Each structure stands twice: as structure tokens, then as C-alpha cells.
Structure 1
Amino acid sequence: MWRGAAVAAALCLGAAWLLGRGFEPRGRLLSAAELRRHRGAEGEPGLYLALLGRVFDVQSGRKHYGPGGAYEGLAGKLVGRFYDENGAPTEALRQAEAAMEEGLKLKAESDRRKEQFPPCNSEWSSAKGSRFWCSRQSGGVNRDWIGVPRKLYTPGSRGTQCVCVRTTGPPWGQPDSTEHSDRGDLDNPHLEEYDGCHPLAEQCVLSV
């Protein structure tokens, strides 16, 4: 039972990842024989992967799914059994699609949080200790502000993450607010300053 649930969860995450990376699902139904002709080999018409009843065109991910790629064994095959012998969706497919939808919502929330609190740049050495700093591209998030390092506590998880926090303007999610303290997100209750670092410094050095 656990193994089946784990496989279904992995398939849901896989489908969510494919959708998130821009792979397009195909609308036309394909037979298993037709699908086998789309493994990306020379002379074949394309590179497809079927997952949760959807056929994805993964040509743009050829280095992963094409011949010689790490996942070439998945291409041109139906991954998972979510339709009965008459082609009707099973309860397993409905559950998997619900889980995939939830996964996409979680990913969207994660992306939104990253826009609000981009990860810091960081480095460590045995001689100097840890250094955290912010820039307009830190965390891979391009923006028009730099921010200051803070420890972010995420409910339900252990430990903290260094993030860059906007220091001016209204709080996140209130772009049109006219009544605010002009401190950006500095007053967010899930943030904490680093001991020994100036509250508005763009970098923080924690000595060994």
C-alpha cells in the first residue's frame, strides 16, 4: 500500500515538474504503438512521455529524455496505470490529479514566497566564518531593491533560512497601502535579525 502511494506521489510530482518547466501536454489520444514511435531516435517523429494519462512533448528536454539521457527509459512509454480497459479514468487518476493540483499550488506559493524573501548569497570559510549578503540578483530573483539579511522561520519546518528583506515601502501584498511605516517587510513576525550585525547592513559576517 505504501509503495503504491509513494509511486503515485512521485508521478504527481513528476507531472507537476513537467508542467512547471513548460512541457506541453498533447491533446490527441495515442495508442501504445504510436507512443513507442516517439522515443527521440533518429528518424522518429518526436519525443513524447506519457504521465498520468497526459502525453507530454519533451523535445526541449532531449538531453534528459532522449537517447543517452538519464531518463531515456521513460520516453515513448506510458508511465502509470490510470485508465481501465475501456479507456475511462480510474479513481487512481482522479486522486493523482488532485494531488498534482495541490503540488502546483504549493509550488506557486513557494515561488511567491521566494519573490517576497529571496535567498541570501552566502559563503563560509574556516578562517573567517560565515558571510551572508544581498544583491539585486541574490537567490536568482532579479529585482529593483537589494534588501538586508534576516533569518526566516517557516512554520512547520526546523531551522532557519537566510533571506533578503525589503526595507522600504509598504509590506508585501499591500502595494496600494498609504498607511504604513515605510519599513517594507522588516516587521514580518517570521523574521529575526542576526546577532552582531547592523539591522540595515546589506551583508552580515558571523565570525568563527
Structure 2
Amino acid sequence: CLGFDILCSALVAMLSASLAVLFFPRQWSLYSGSKSTQELPRRLLNSQELSLYDGEVGSKGIYLAILGQVFDVHNGIKHYGPGGAYHFMAGKDASLAFITGDFTESGLTDDVSSLSPLQVVALFDWLLFYQRTYQTVGLVIGRFYSKSGTPTKFLLHVESLLAKGQQLKAKTEGEMLRFPACNSEWSSARGGRVWCSTKSGGVERSWTGVPRKLFHAGASGSRCVCVEDPSAAKENPNLQEYDGCSTHAVSCSLVE
């Protein structure tokens, strides 16, 4: 959560709720698959105009933008106002920093071209948090929206990454349920150990399973997972037993 202690609990609660999103100002449905009939009023600001809302003395208020959408965060003045922990985000679109945690001048940018599809999903989760928590003001003319308020090619590209990221996330979550992460420990006296139980990797289940190394094509390493059926696991070329560990053992000492 980037160290955002105030926002983390709200974000976690938000992520467990419905992911239906209204992406301002268009009628959007990537999360829910259903269109909203609501159309919000639109105000267009350039980056210079947005900078006038940084909360400093003489400013017009406190705004911040994420993915080109502008929010009035005055209700969070203790966080975004002068002296606040996140004041550096006021008056600008610092979309990239929400994911990288780079709050330097170069990191506080709206250029998210370096993000992976899964990181784009996380960024849109942040967007949803602001949509639910603060008042939407308008759009920033520039990287994401044109002078007429229409999406740019760059935004359309980011949206395509969002769709791809959602597919990858669904696949990953499915794999995590099928092959939940195992438990692990290490000590200088006993060395390393991996084991399975009815709850590991955040997945609670009725079966214990056995530890296996799970490899992915193109990946340099593997991760330890619990496999329910040891016999069926032998047929999967991406699953490998730990050296020195019997096929049906629920706990394996790591051989160095």
C-alpha cells in the first residue's frame, strides 16, 4: 500500500466489495460488464491549472489526479494539505507513484508506460478508491484526455493493459486456489523446511497436500506450492519434487 497507512484499510475494504466502476466521464463497464446510465458533469483542466490546486497559501483548493481524472481531496486536507504525508501528490497527476512508491520529482509523473498489465490493474484499483471516497471534479488535458475531453490513444492502450491484467489476475487467482503456496521456515541451526497444512498461502481448504516446486515457462525460478494429489502431480511437467523428500511427505527439509 506504498506506506499509505491511512488509505490501506479503506483500500482493502474497497477491494473486497463489488468492482463495478463508473470511469468518468464515459459510460464504462470493464469491471462489472454492465453500463451505468449516469453521466457526470465534466470540467477540463490543463496541468498548469491543476497545479493551482496544491493546497498552498493562495491556492484555489486541493485537487489531485490519477489516470487523468481529477478529484477534490479537500476533505482529506490533513493528508494532502501542506505538511500532510501525501501533500506531494496535490496539484498534479502522479499516477505512476501509486504503484512504484517513487515520490521523487521524476517519480511523481503520469507516465505509466512502464507498468505491467497486473500493475495497471492495481492502479485502477486506486482510481476506484478515489472515485468512492472523493468528489470527481473533471479531467486533465494531456496524456490521458484530449482538449475536447475524449480519451487519447495512450489511455486506450492503458485500458487494453487493464483488460489483459484482469485476465492474468483471474488466471493467477485460479492457480493459487489449485496450487496454494506452502509454508516455509529457515534457521541457521536446522536449515530450511517447507510443509503443507490445511491453511497455507492464504487458502483454507479441506486437504493438506504435499510440497512441490512449481515452474513457469520463461521464469528463472520456482515457487513452493501444495499439491492435493501427488500421483497426478507426476503428470504435470511444471511440478517437481524436492530433493531428498518422499513423494507423499507433507514436510520437506531443503537440501543445499
When normalised by structure 2's length, the TM-score is: 0.52
- 2:88 counterpart of 1:73: yes
Match of 2:144? 82
1:28-177 maps to which residues of 2 (within 5 A)? 28=40, 29=42, 50-54=65-69, 68-69=84-85, 71-74=86-89, 77-79=92-94, 80=110, 81-167=143-229
Q: 2:33 corresponds to which residue?
A: none
Structure 1: which 5+ runs fail to align? Answer: 1-16, 40-46, 169-182
C-alpha distance in 1, partners of 2:88/2:147? Answer: 24
Asked whether the equivalents of residues 167 and 186 of structure 1 are also in contact (C-alpha less than 8 Å), the reply is: no
CA contact (8 A) 1:132 1:149 kept: yes
How big is each residue's C-alpha offset from its partner over 1:63-96, in whole Å with a ceiling of 9 and x where there is no partner? Answer: xx76644x55336744432111111111111111
Letter paired with 2:180: P
- Counterparts of 1:9-24 in structure 2, within 5 Å, are 21=15
Counterparts of 2:250 and 2:72 in 1: how far apart (Å)?
44
Which range moved further: 194-203 or 183-192? 183-192
The C-alpha deviation readout for 1:149-172, integer Å capped at 9, x for no partner, is: 01111111012211100128xxxx
- Report how many aligned residue pairs link the two structures: 165
In structure 2, relative to structure 1, the CA distance for the partners of 1:201 and 1:94 (3 Å cut) is same
CA contact (8 A) 1:26 1:55 kept: no
CA contact (8 A) 1:53 1:82 kept: yes
CA distance in 1, matches of 2:194, 2:229: 17
Q: Residue 104 of structure 1: CA displacement?
A: 2.0
- Say if 1:132 and 1:157 are closer, same or farther in 2 by CA, change over 3 A: same
CA–CA distance in structure 1, aligned partners of residues 72 and 89 of structure 2? 12
Question: How large is the RMSD of aligned CA atoms in angstroms?
Answer: 3.8
1:205 and 2:199 aligned: no
Q: 1:73 to 1:137 in 2, by over 3 A?
A: farther
What residue ranges of structure 2 are gaps of 5+ in the alignment? 1-10, 25-39, 56-61, 95-109, 111-142
SS at match of 1:105: helix
Q: Which letter maps to 2:88?
A: G
Q: CA–CA distance in 1 between the matches of 2:72 and 2:198? A: 35
Distance 2:177 2:71 in 1: 29
Higher relative contact order (CA 8 A, sep 6+): 1
Q: TM-score, normalised by structure 1?
A: 0.62
What is the CA-CA distance between 1:109 and the residue it aligns to? 1.6
In the superposition, relative to structure 1, how do residues 119 and 75 fare at CA in structure 2: closer, same or farther (>3 Å)? farther
Deviation at 1:57, TM superposition (A): 10
Structure-1 separation of matches of 2:43 and 2:177: 39
